[in-house]
Amino acid sequence: MELKPVLTLREAVNRYIPDGQEVMIGGFAFSDPTALAHELIRQRRKGLYVMKTSGGVLVDMLIGSGCVDRVLFCHIWNSVGPVPAHCFRRALEQGIPNSVQVEELSFGAVTMALLAGACDLPFMPTTPVQGAGHFTQRTFLSDKFALVDSPFGGGSVSVVKPIKPALGVFHVHRVDRLGNAQFFGPAGELRYSIAACKKVIVIAEEMVDTEVVRERPEVTVAPGFMVEAIVIEPWAAHPTDSYGYYLRDLQHNDLYGEMTRTEEGFRRYVDEWIIGTGDHRGFVAKLGEEQRAKLRLRKEPW
């Protein structure tokens, strides 16, 4: 069996995510790999095509930093409050810092599109969508939906085109050296999303021995043969939750929402929390042990 390369986040971004890369980023407002967004911003990426089911703060900061040209999503917001995703709004309403092309699918439709991609099927039926905005309003995925007559009777059926991202980066809880990636708790669309990607990088909270993986084989969301490279980065999903490891950081979401109201405030956030921290370890240190202790769920260190 093949050992998978273990990279730093800096190396992974440098090697796999050049300007203009198409990338599916995992997480559904929990297990959002925010540390990846920070590193993309530090390396000043441009022109990315980002796919993300639940956009949240992660996509908001990428857009605000001018990293994104196109985004496919189900929603983009700061769900704590809730408050608007201010950078996303500035980009779409005023073209600040650049105009961003958007394409949307609902969560159910994207689940089916990823399932089709994951299974290498030509399409998947989905919920009826005629009459809905998603059906009529199309931008860069002009063939995202179609109607077919059911061969089994009952009239026309809405179908979605498969999504097969060129690259996916997913936050998981633990991984072994072979790339077997494990995830606990609710999984949203995670399993289909991983399997739909042509190439997968996992960002894990911790590296564990393969014997530990074997104790809970049912929580393996990507067997090692589906994984290209591994990054180990504790607290990578902060300020979103990581099941069994840490809670959502409401104070940090509030801080982000407040600071990003203005462009100037957003720049201060980026300088202070992203550029100024140097790397994710620096970010975690800045967060501080007191705050981490409030959020930490897992008793034993990892």
Partner 1 sequence: MGNVTLFERMLITGANRIADGAVLFVGFHWPMLMARVARRLHAPNIVVVYENGIVEDRLTSLFPTSPCDLTAAEKATTCAGSLEALYMWLGAGRVQMTMLEAAIVDRFGNVNTTVVGPYLKPKVRLPGSGGGTELSSLGRGLFLVSASTNKRSYPDRVDYITSPGYLGGRAERERFGYKPGTGPQTLVNPLGIFRFNDNGEMYAAAVHPGVGPEQVHASFGWPITIASDCAMLPEPSAEQVVVTREEIASARTRSYLMPEG
Helix (H), strand (E) at residue 160: strand 156-160
Q: Which of 5, 108, 265, 282 binds partner 1 (CB under 8 A)?
A: 108
CA distance 178 to 170: 16
CA angle 73, 258, 187 (to 5 degrees): 35
The residues in 259-298 that bind partner 1, with binding defined as CB under 8 A, are none
Kindly tell me which of 123 and 184 has the beta carbon lying closer to partner 1. 184
Q: What is the largest distance, in Å, between two alpha-carbon atoms of the chain?
A: 61
Give φ, ψ of 174 to 5 degrees: -150, 160
CB 103, CB 141: distance < 8 Å: yes
Q: Which of 22, 39, 189, 228 binds partner 1 (CB under 8 A)?
A: 189
Q: If DSSP states are collapsed to H, E and C, what string results for 101-122?
A: EEEECCHHHHHHHHHHHHHCCC
Query: Could you tell me the smallest distance in angstroms from the CB atom of residue 248 to partner 1?
Result: 5
Examine residue 302 and tell whether it contacts partner 1 (CB under 8 A): no
Query: What are the tokens at 41?
Result: 């911003």
Query: What are the tokens at 207?
Result: 């590296």
Examine residue 82 and tell whether it contacts partner 1 (CB under 8 A): yes
Using the contact rule CB under 8 A, the part of the chain among 13-21, 39-47, 181-189, 194-202 near partner 1 is 181-189
Q: Which of 49, 77, 145, 235 binds partner 1 (CB under 8 A)?
A: 77
Using the contact rule CB under 8 A, the part of the chain among 8-16, 104-112, 159-167, 258-266 near partner 1 is 104-112
Interface residues with partner 1 (CB under 8 A) are 28-30, 54-55, 73-77, 79-85, 88-89, 92-93, 104-109, 111, 115, 127-134, 137, 139, 154-158, 184-192, 240-241, 243, 247-248, 250, 253-254
